Amino acid sequence: MTLPATRRVGIADVAALAGVSLGTASKALNGRGTLREETRARVRAAAEELGFTPSAVARSLLTGRTFTVGIITTDSYGRFSIPMTRGVEDSLGVGEMIAFLCDSRDDPIREQHHLRKLLERQVDGIIVAGRRTDAREPLADNLQVPVVYAFGRSRDPHDCSVVSDERGAAHLAIEHLVKTGRRRIAHITGPQSHESARERAAGAASSLAAFELELVGEPLFGSWTEAWGRFAVAQVLRTAPDVDGVFCGNDVIARGVLDGLREAGVSLPMRAGVVGIDNWGVVAEAARPPLTTVDLGLEEVGHRAGDLLLAAIDGHPTPGVHVVPSHLVVRES
């Protein structure tokens, strides 16, 4: 594998080969100043011959742009930021941009430190990728660069945020359960302090109401763990042994629910259907049976955030909350 020797060829080499001064070479390559066309052509030919590309540093001084953006994640490059970052990268790659990735680890001091480093490097824009859907404080007041919030929206409605459709996801899950014949549906989910848990529960209730149905019992708020899923479904079986569907707040809970049902002798998916949210491959595919779940479109959230950031950098900001639709992934549960 050979590599164009980009770094070793400087404008001085170009000037020497063309037999002109450094200043003339610079003018010729930047298309500035007054030069004879013959001189300009000679310099360009020399640049071509040497494979000279102006450095990104030099280019940014000329254009006032660095063609870099910062991505500040809060979840330590975790399972939410992974697909989002992929989406952002796909979007930015088209525009020859490149991203600094900073991990704030949910620590406001680290976040401000990263912000300072990004601004020092004159990034053209910043994406803030959240781990929770709860609205967050804006990154800072009076920022001079465009910012797009992904997954977790900004509290300031004048900011630009891209989020997943929490209620729509709940609707897809309930609709699937009802359409596959389930009528006695319970809801087991994460902590009530999480907006996503509350929104999904509200979405489930209104979706069931549209089918003239009601949840079996109250939504069971707990934690985003398998152990909670196993424990909670045992309670459900005790109070409502005829339950025939469980909508789970995420895939991890759903996996616990599946294990709990199977180990209680409930045959799956014949006697009960289970649907999760996340479409987290490692969990959903390893579940027994493999889990039907709702994909929140995180990669699309990242992609859209990248697109909106590029537009804002080009002078076309689109403030407000942009919602990316979810979609159902049917497996065997």
Token pair of 45, please?
């030919």
Kindly tell me which of 37 and 96 has the beta carbon lying closer to a copy of itself. 96
Question: Residue 6 burial by CB count (10 A; 0-12/13-18/19+): exposed, middle or buried?
Answer: exposed
- The smaller minimum CB distance to a copy of itself, of residues 3 and 38, is found at 3
Distance CA 222, CA 189 (A): 6
d(CA 134, CA 155): 9
Q: How far is the CB of 193 from a copy of itself (least distance, A)?
A: 21
**Rounded (10°) angle between helices 37-50 and 11-18:** 120
Q: Which is nearer to a copy of itself, 56 or 330 (CB)?
A: 56
CB-nearer residue toward a copy of itself: 286 or 330: 286
Query: Min. distance of Cβ 101 from a copy of itself in angstroms?
Result: 4
Residue 116 token pair: 């300072």
Strand runs labelled E in 190-238: 220-221
CA distances from 29 to 12, 21, 25 (A): 12, 12, 6
Bridge partners of residue 149, in order along the sequence: 128, 161
State how far the Cα of 56 lies from the Cα of 220, in Å rounded to an integer. Answer: 54
Binding interface with a copy of itself (CB under 8 A):
1-8, 53, 55-57, 60-61, 66, 68, 71, 76-78, 81-82, 85-86, 89, 96, 98-103, 112, 115-122, 137-145, 225-227, 252, 255, 282-283, 286
Closest by CA position to 103, among listed 71, 136, 151? 71
Q: Which is nearer to a copy of itself, 101 or 202 (CB)?
A: 101
Nearest approach, Cβ of 222 to a copy of itself (angstroms)?
15
Q: How far is the CB of 141 from a copy of itself (least distance, A)?
A: 6
Name the minimum Å distance from CB 255 to a copy of itself: 8
Report, in Å, the least distance between residue 79 CB and a copy of itself: 8
Question: Please, which residue, 61 or 240, has the CB nearer to a copy of itself?
Answer: 61
> Is 247 in contact with 186 (CB distance < 8 Å)?
yes
